[in-house]
Amino acid sequence: MAYHPLDQRSAAQYLKRAGLFPKAAAMTVTEIGDGNINMVFRVQDKHNGHSVILKHAFPYVRCVGESWPLSLDRIRIEADALEIQDRHVPALVPKVLHRNNEMALVVMEDLGRMEVMRKGMNKLRKYPRFADHISTFMANVLFFTSDLFLPAREKKALSGRFDNPLCGITEDLIFTEPYFDCARNNVNPALRPYCERVFWRKSNLRLEASKLKEKFLTQGQCLIHGDLHTGSILANATETKVFDTEFAFVGPAAFDPGLLVGNLFINFLALDGKEFTQAQKSSYQRYVLESVREIYHLFELKFRKNWDDHSKEPAFAVAGFQDYYLRQMFADTLGFAAAEMIRRTHGLAHNIDVDEIQDLERRRDVQVSILETAEEIMLRRGRFRRMDEVVAVVGHRGRSTGIKRSRKSRN
C-alpha cells in the first residue's frame, strides 16, 4: 500500500481493513496527540468499548508544517524500538498490535486507564512502583542492547537499523539553541533579561553543552529511548508504561537516565512557584528527591546485576572496568540532566511543570532557580561521586533558599 496521510475517517477504515475491528463496528476516532511531531488517534468500537491507539506520521513535523520535512521512516524506527523494548521489559511498554512501514503507522494497545505521569506529578500524585519499574526499564534496555551484552556485530547491525532522522531535533534543541539568543527559543519575557545579561554569556556552560553534543553524535553505546521524560511515561499506582519511542537510536547510555533525572529536578524546583500549601509542597518535594535517589540507586544495582549475570565479554569482566563505566555514565547522566533542565526552561519545548505557573515573574523565579541548579550540576558533574550528593544540592536550592538566591543573583 502506497503511503497516504490518514484523517480520522480513513484511519477507521484502515483499521477495519487491517482486521483490527469488525466490518460492522461503529467507531469513534479521537485525536489525542499532544505530540508535536505525529498524529495520534484513539479509535474505539462503540459497541464493546474496545479501543486502540494509532500513531501515524506525516512527511513533516506536524506542529511546524511542510516547511520542516521529516522522514516517514521514523514510525518504522519507533515500532522497531518498541518491539525490542518489549523483549527486555515486556510489562513496561505498550504492546504493538499492528504496524505498517509503508503507511508510516503503528497500532498499539490503548492504555487510557493510565495517566501521563507529568500531569499526575503536577497534581502531586505519587507513584509507589515507579522507581522500581523505570530503573528496570533503563537497566534492561540499556544493558541488553549494548556491547556489554551483544556481540559487536549485532550491536552494529542494531545501530544501522536506528539511523533516526529525529536525532537532529535533539542535537539542535538540546545542545545548541538554548545557549544563544536563537529565534526558535521560547523565552518568558520576564526571564529574557536574565538570559541576556547572565545565561547567554556563560561560555563555560556552552562549552560543556558542546562536549555533550559531541558525545550524543558519536557515542553509540546502546539503544536509548531518546526522550525519556515524564511526558513519555504512563503511570498509575501499580503500573508504568514507557511510550513515544520515536527518538530511539543507538547513543550514549547516560542520555535516558539524564533526561529523566533532569525532568524530575524541574518538577521539584517548579513546586516552589505553585499554589499548594507549604506542607503539600514540602512533602511532594521530599518524594521527588527520594524518587531520584531511588531510581538511580536501583538502576545502577540492576545494571550491575545484568552485567555480572549476562556479560560474556572477557575484556569487560576486567577488575575495575564496571566501576569505571558506571562512573562515566553517572557523570554523563548529570550532564544530560543539566542540559535538559536548561533547554526546557527557555528552549523551544517547555514543561507544563513550570509553564502552568501563570504569573510570569513568579515563573521567572522558578526558571532562574532551574538554570542556576543546572549550571551547578553541569559544571560539577565530574566531581560528584553519588546521586545523594546531587540530590542534596538540588534539595538545598529548592525547598527554602532557592528562590531567594535566584532573586539576589539577578541584581
The reply to whether 149 sits near a copy of itself by the rule CB under 8 A is no
Query: Toward a copy of itself, which CB reaches closer, 108 or 166?
Result: 166
DSSP letter at 173 equals H
Task: Provide, rounded to whole angstroms, the least separation between the CB of residue 204 and a copy of itself.
Answer: 8
Task: Provide, rounded to whole angstroms, the least separation between the CB of residue 181 and a copy of itself.
Answer: 12
Q: Which of 65, 168, 193, 382 binds a copy of itself (CB under 8 A)?
A: 168
Q: Which of 73, 83, 115, 171 binds a copy of itself (CB under 8 A)?
A: 171
Compute the distance between CA of residue 42 and CA of residue 323 in angstroms, rounded to an integer: 45
Of 175-183, 341-349, 390-398, 399-407, the window that binds a copy of itself (rule: CB under 8 A) is 175-183
Cell numbers standing for residue 209: 553543552
> Which residues ranging from 212 to 271 are in contact with a copy of itself (CB under 8 A)?
213-214, 217-221
Amino acid identity of 126? K
Give the closest residue to 306 by CA, choosing from 140, 131, 122, 94: 140
The reply to whether 73 sits near a copy of itself by the rule CB under 8 A is no
The reply to whether 183 sits near a copy of itself by the rule CB under 8 A is no
Q: Which of 118, 155, 281, 381 binds a copy of itself (CB under 8 A)?
A: 155
> Which residues ranging from 102 to 141 are in contact with a copy of itself (CB under 8 A)?
none
Beta bridge partners of 109: 52
Q: Which of 23, 113, 153, 408 binds a copy of itself (CB under 8 A)?
A: 153
Of 36-44, 62-70, 163-171, 332-340, the window that binds a copy of itself (rule: CB under 8 A) is 163-171
Task: Provide, rounded to whole angstroms, the least separation between the CB of residue 206 and a copy of itself.
Answer: 5
DSSP state string for 285-333: HHHHHHHHHHHHHHHHHHHHHHHHHH---GGGSSTTHHHHHHHHHHHHH
Give the closest residue to 264 by CA, choosing from 221, 299, 217: 299
- The CB density around residue 291, as the number of other CB atoms within 10 Å, is 23
Dihedral sign of CA atoms 190, 196, 200, 202 in order: negative
> Which residues ranging from 201 to 220 are in contact with a copy of itself (CB under 8 A)?
203-204, 206-207, 209-211, 213-214, 217-220
Q: Which of 8, 51, 100, 159 binds a copy of itself (CB under 8 A)?
A: 159
Compute the distance between CA of residue 62 and CA of residue 40 in angstroms, rounded to an integer: 11
Q: Which of 316, 349, 395, 405 binds a copy of itself (CB under 8 A)?
A: 316
Compute the distance between CA of residue 213 and CA of residue 195 in angstroms, rounded to an integer: 21
The reply to whether 276 sits near a copy of itself by the rule CB under 8 A is no
| List of residues 6+ apart from 269 with CB closer than 8 A | 366, 369, 370, 373, 394, 397, 398, 402
Whose cell is 536506528? That residue is 162
Q: Which of 24, 320, 358, 408 binds a copy of itself (CB under 8 A)?
A: 320
- Which phi and psi angles does 10 have, rounded to 5°? -70, -25
Task: Provide, rounded to whole angstroms, the least separation between the CB of residue 161 and a copy of itself.
Answer: 9
How many residues make up the chain in this entry?
A: 411
The reply to whether 86 sits near a copy of itself by the rule CB under 8 A is no
Q: Which of 165, 294, 352, 355 binds a copy of itself (CB under 8 A)?
A: 165
- The pairing of strands 115-116 and 39-45 is unpaired
Dihedral sign of CA atoms 287, 291, 297, 301 in order: positive
Compute the distance between CA of residue 159 and CA of residue 221 in angstroms, rounded to an integer: 9
The reply to whether 189 sits near a copy of itself by the rule CB under 8 A is no
The reply to whether 352 sits near a copy of itself by the rule CB under 8 A is no
Contact 84, 139 (CB under 8 A): no
Task: Provide, rounded to whole angstroms, the least separation between the CB of residue 131 and a copy of itself.
Answer: 28
Q: Which of 32, 157, 237, 360 binds a copy of itself (CB under 8 A)?
A: 157
Query: Toward a copy of itself, which CB reaches closer, 257 or 398?
Result: 257
Q: Which of 319, 383, 408, 411 binds a copy of itself (CB under 8 A)?
A: 319
Residues forming the site for a copy of itself (CB under 8 A): 147, 152-153, 155-157, 159-160, 163, 165, 167-168, 171, 175-176, 179-180, 203-204, 206-207, 209-211, 213-214, 217-221, 314-316, 318-321, 324-325
